[in-house]
Copies of this chain bind each other. A is one copy, B any other.
Amino acid sequence: MTNTTTCGCGADHEGRKAVAVDADLKERNTNRLKRIEGQVRGLQKMVEEDRYCADILTQLSSVQEALRGVSRELMRNHLKHCATHAFRQGNEEAEAMYDELVELFHKHAR
């Protein structure tokens, strides 16, 4: 189920690639983001037509929720591949990963 499309990564943070990305996840996220793009265009139309503010706000919430869905999948992939990789490297890489995860966690927790 999870053919992974590996990539350079790890030491090489030039291009900052993921250690690995599950193929099915990649497809799901691409589809989600296309839908989200459509929703954002829908929002532009609502603003254009002076639609009722509360209706636009509700639609904005729904886009936010959809983006959280993408985050959630990415976070799982990140833990499974990138974080696991770093945690196994030992001290320095692991420490950097703790900081990064706490930072991500905190940024999204607001």
Interface residues of A in 44-73 (CB under 8 A from B): 44, 47-58, 60-61, 63-64, 67-68, 70-72
How many interface residues does chain A have, given as a range? Answer: 35 or more
Residues of chain B within 8 A of A47, CB atoms compared: 26, 29-30, 33
Q: How many copies does the complex hold?
A: 4
A83 touches B75 (CB 8 A): no
Q: What 1/0 flags go to A93-107 for Cβ under 8 Å of B?
A: 010011011101111
What residues make up the interface of A, taking CB atoms closer than 8 Å to B? 5, 7, 9, 13, 15-18, 21, 26, 29-30, 33-34, 36-37, 40-41, 43-44, 47-58, 60-61, 63-64, 67-68, 70-72, 74-84, 87-88, 94, 97-98, 100-102, 104-110
